[in-house]
Every structure is written in structure tokens, then in C-alpha cells.
Structure 1
Amino acid sequence: MLREMSQLSILGFRNTIWSPVELNRHIRQLIESDYRMSDLWLAGEISNLSQPSSGHLYFSIRDDEAAVRCVMWKQDVALLPRLPQEGEAIETHGNVSVYEAGGRYQLYVNQVRFAGEGERYQEYLLLKERLETEGLFSTERKRKLPTWPSRIGIVTSPTGAALRDVLNVLRRRYPLVHAIVSPTPVQGEAAPDRIVEAIQAINEESKPDIVLLVRGGGSVEDLWAFNDERVVRAVIASKAPLVTGIGHETDVLLADFAADVRAPTPSAAAELATPDSDELKIEVRQMKMGLGRAWADYLRRQRTALQVQRTALELLSPRARVDNMRQRVDELLHRATSATRHEISLQKAAVGGLIQTLQAVGPDTVLARGYSVVRNSEDGTIIRSVTQVRAGDDLQVRVSDGEYAAQAVDHSSTGSP
């Protein structure tokens, strides 16, 4: 099996396998070994300018065909008579090296000469001055944002992070609002016309209470569509108050001057356009308290009116007569009850007398006085006369405390012959 071999390997040299850090360090050493890269001047327009809290400056120097990334440390920035501006033409001095962690070369600037404003920035200033002269940026034409918007239009790229940021803020602060997106490219040559169409479309078709014109950060070239005169005039012509939130806080564009409200970021634009849900809760609580007080006052008035009607009705009411008749019924019922109870007592007494009489003449009482009941043992016939007994008959005698057997021996009659 044939294997491809480089000329170096044929000569006995082995291929070196580099790690990213080794390769970046080697390239840095190559660049720094070139004396021309350690002391040079670079001229062009400044772009992508930023200054974080560290105080260092990060920017690019560009011309019509290319750009070079630059860094200026805080101690060198402090020596500048002023900070450079986005789009300004400058000359920078420093040395070229490689930022190993990112694998990119950049100019480490230690001096800046201000050569005057760049051509694009000059165009920006001229257009800004002309529009200001027309009064398009005057505060008198700025409209107040509605306190409780129900529909918010969003003009932005449908795939950008700005849309997600805005929707997250709306969902958190004011979930009752209805968000409508009018999609458009936000950079490139076609962007100005498309942005104008998107602003017009959302005003005509959706009639929102507020329009948000937003996009995330980017280079000055990425944001330049929002300096276009057509976009500025479309912002001013918006029927609904318009809030811009384009780029970062340091990015100030002509569309920002034309807007009714300018926000530093897309998220801030969403916050300015909506009330806080906590504030809404306070407002609802206050309205609830006011409604409660109004309802309580209404109930008091109704109770007073009802009491007046009740008094008038009582004057005409037959209630007093009904009460008298009810009392009369109670009295008659009491008398009837008393009479019934008396009659029952009398009847109880009579029954008691009968019971005593019955007990006095009852067989048990008679037997207890010494009498007995004699029966014929054979057929159980009660013996009432001596004629019913013959000598030798078996008898059964019952006395008060029991019975015993007897036999007739003889009999004699005590009655008349």
C-alpha cells in the first residue's frame, strides 16, 4: 500500500503537530521579530469603538477594503487630549502583536493623531444638521408614551437576539400586552428601504399603541442603516409613538434623534414602553380600595333609604293587630290547655277510685281475708253448693298463698230445706 510522504519526511525530518497556543506564540514571535512591526503608523477611520469599565480603548482602523483591530491601554488613553469618535479619521502609532488567547493580530496603540473627521462621519454630521434645521429633532414634536399600552409593534430582525430580549422583558414586566412583530433586515444595503416598509406596515395594518424599533449591537457599518434619511423620516411619520433601542448606550444614531423616546438597548426600550407589573399591582390595589370605599358608601345610602321605607311601611302595617290576635290565641291556647289538664286530672281520679273498688272486691283480696275457692279435681268445676259434692270426691282448694288437695267426707246443708 502506497503512502504519501512529504519531501521533508523523505529527508528524515518529522512533521511537527502544533497546539493552538504553540502556533499562536510562534506567529507572535515571527511578527515581533520584524522590526517594521514594532514601530509603525496606521491611518484610517475609527470604527467599533468601545471603552469598558477597565478604561482601555478597543476599536478598529478601517479603509474601504480592510480593517485592523486596535487596543490602547488605559495609561496611554489618559494622555490623549480627548477621546476619539466613531467614524473619525485618525493616525495611530504602536506595535503589531498577536493576542494568543484569541488567535488574532492587533495593533497595540500608544499614540493617536487626530487627522480630522472621516468622510462617512462628515456625511452623518451634515445630514444631522440639515434635519435639525427642519425641526425634525425638536423636543416639541416628541409624543408621550401611553401608560397602559395594549398592543406593541416591534420592528426588528425576526432572528436577532434583540427580539428575544424584548419579548422576555414584555413577558416579565407586562404579560397582558399583545406584541406584534414586523420583520425586516436591520443591516446591509437593502435594510433602509425594508425598515421604512416595516414601520409603515405595522402602523397601517396593526395600529399599535407603541412601536419599538430595535436591533442589537454591532459595528458602525452594521448600524449605518439607522442613519439613513429615509429611515429617519419614517420614524417621524409613525402614527404611533416610536421608541428606538439600537445597539448599545454609546451608539447614538439619527433614528434615535427622530424617535419620541430613545433607549440605550432593546431591553431598555421594552422597559420604557411598558409599566412594571409591580406598579400595576399597586394601581389595581388602589383601585380596589377606592371601589371598596365607593361600594361601602353606596350601601350606606341604600340602607338609609331602606330604613325610611321600612318606617313608612310599619305605619301602614297590620302588624299591631296581628300581634294582638297572636297574643289572644296564646291566651286561649293556655286556657284550653289548663282545662284539658284539669279534666284529665278528674278522669285520673275516677279511674283511681274504680281501681281501688276493683281491688277491694277482687278474688285475691277476698282470699286474703280467709276465703277459699274449691274446685272439683276431676273436672275443675268450682264448688258453689254442697249439693255438688259427694262423699269421697277429690277436691282442689285454693287459698291466698297457694293450693292444696282435699277429699269430701260428708256434707251438711246450712241453707233452708
Structure 2
Amino acid sequence: MRTVARKIADWIGKLGTVWVEGQVTQITARQGTGTAFLTLRDPAADVSMTVTCPTAMVREQEPPLTDGTRIVVHAKPAFFFGRGQLSLRADEIRAVGIGQLLARIERLRKLLAAEGLFAPQRKRRLPFLPNTVGLITGRASAAEHDVLVNATARWPAVRFRVENVAVQGALAVPQLVDALGALDRDPAVDVIVIARGGGSVEDLLPFSDEALCRAVSACRTPVVSAIGHETDSPLLDHVADLRCSTPTDAGKRVVPDVAEETARVRQMRDRARRALHGWVDRERRLLEQLRSRPVLADPLSPLVAHANQVDTLRERGVFAVRRLLSEQQSALDATKARLTTLGPAATLTRGYAVVQLVDGDGTGTVLRSVREAPAGTVLRIRVADGVVHAVVREETESSGGGSG
């Protein structure tokens, strides 16, 4: 172990001087001692280192060094062999002025903006009525009071999960980041509010810290920034999903106003009632217009009219058929009379007769000449009302006719 410690001390002893920036968390400068001890802490991480320097250097600082002061030291790393501790031996201490702080914040602002952490597309809409509101603020602070009172006045049933942290000093950033992570992991928390009252640039410096800004950017829950007054604008305002000018404004923005929402519901209900009544009135008028039409006012009249029309057409059809039958019957009777007039029966009724030769099979042929009927020929004579049979006794020829 001694060999390792000695080699580490030799290696560190070869290092040159460095400029280190940090936040003072502890000062030990007793009277009568020539060496003062400072604890310098990284505000963005849980890392600290002991700094030794002449006591006079500490006492000569203007303004005097206090816990939370940001300083830049010019020092050489040193390794204490006996205790195995690394420290810095400072030969110059400079307080970080407002101008340097603002310049550093401006550089960080440009860096985060270039990475897109300020882009409007990353901003998430706050829930209309959050289940639980997470609040990160100082213990028993005016900011906590303003957020709780104003939110409860607007929506009495709102629920809060409050995380009290340091809002300035060396412990502010780590506690803020831890509280933010705890609220983000809580499934009941729908929105997170980070609130603090006004203060100087140094007091609000933790809310422009890079670690906090990146933690807010990575947060899955919408974050509301309510830091200081209207004129204060730390980097957290640009990264958060919503920037509120004051904690009071944040209390009004995270929850709706129950009176306004009740009035809005009443207005929507009235509008819906009027719209429904208007629709019913329109439909009623339409039904009345339909009912006033003849077809619906007296639905049997069209049926009766159509029935009468059917009866009329049927009668016309029967009349037309009967007339046609009568005409055809008349034509048939005329044709029949004509046939009767032109037929042999009419001739027979006038005294004529048809003489036929009787064959052996009983059939007869019309006698056309006396030569066809020698004596003894059996004849069948057809007159108007029947048939008689005769036998030829003699044959007589005559140019004008004859008889047998």
C-alpha cells in the first residue's frame, strides 16, 4: 500500500496548476493558524474536494467568502501520503462575478438550444385535470403557499405531492434532481411544478444548472417552471413544458377553475337543449307538413278514386268486349245468311232437287245426263225436306229438260 500511495503521490506531484470552479460549502480559517481549509463542491454533481490556502488569502476576499459562494481557484493538486487524500493547494482565489455567471449561463443557453432542448416541438400539453400535482419547492416557502392556495381555490379537490428541497446553495441542484426523478416515477403524478420565489442571480443559479435542465428534458411527466418574478428567466423556463411568471400563476395554470368549468358545462347544456328543441321543432313542422298533404290527410280518398277508376275501366272493358262480340256475331250471322243463300239447300227449297245414282255400296253420284240413267236405274232424289227413291222406267231426251 505504501508503494502504491507513494507512486500516486509522485504522479500527482508532477501535475501542473489548474483553474477549478466550484461552490464553497465549508470554510475553516481559525485565528492564529496560517492555513485555511475550504470545501469546494461541484454544484452539478455530488463531488467535493478540500482546498488549502493561506488564511490571509481567505480573509482578504471582498466580499467575504460564505457558504454557497461560487469561486474560481488557481491551485496545484496535492496528495497527502499519510491519509491518502487528494486536495488542492490554492495560490489564488477569485469570486465568480455576475458578469461571469451571466456569460456562463448564456454559453449554456446556446449549447442547450443547439441540442434542441428548447424546441417548441418538445413541449407537452398539460393534462386538463391532473390526478395528482407534484410540487418541488422550499419547505414552508411563500412559493409553496401560493401554489397550494391558488390551485385549491380553483379546484378544491386537487391533490398534491409536495417535495421540499433546498432551492439555493450547494445542495439545491442534487435535491432538485432527486425530487424530480421521484415524482416522475410516481404513476399518480400527472404534472410537476418547480416553484421558487424571487431572488438574485446567484440565488436563482441552481435553476440554470445544466444537470437540472437535462433532467427536466428527460422527464416523461410534463414540467411547469414557476421561478421568481416576471423578469426572472432561468434556463429552466426554456426547457420546461410550460413557463409561469410566478408561483401564483402556476397554481392557476395546472388546474381548471371549477366555477368557469361549471359555467361552461351549463352553457353547453343550454346550447344542447336549444339545439335539441330546435331539431324537434323542425321535425314536428315537417311531420305537420307531411300530415297536411292530401295523401296523408285523407288516405282513403286516393284508394276510393283508384277503385272507382278500376270499376270504370272494368265496365269499359266489359262494354268493349260485348260490343266486339256483338259485331262479330252480326258479321257471323251475315256470313251465315250469305252462305245459306248461296248454298244448295236454299235452291232445294225453291223446288229444285238433286238426283243421284245409287251405287252398289250405297254411295251416290250426281246424275248429270239422262244417258247416265237407263231404264231400271235406281235413283235417289234429294229435295228440301228429305230424300225419295225412284226407278227409271224409260229414257227420254229433251233439250229443254225432261222427267223420269
Higher relative contact order (CA 8 A, sep 6+): 2
Q: Which has the larger radius of gyration?
A: 2
Fold agreement, TM-score > 0.5: no
Q: TM-score, normalised by structure 2?
A: 0.44
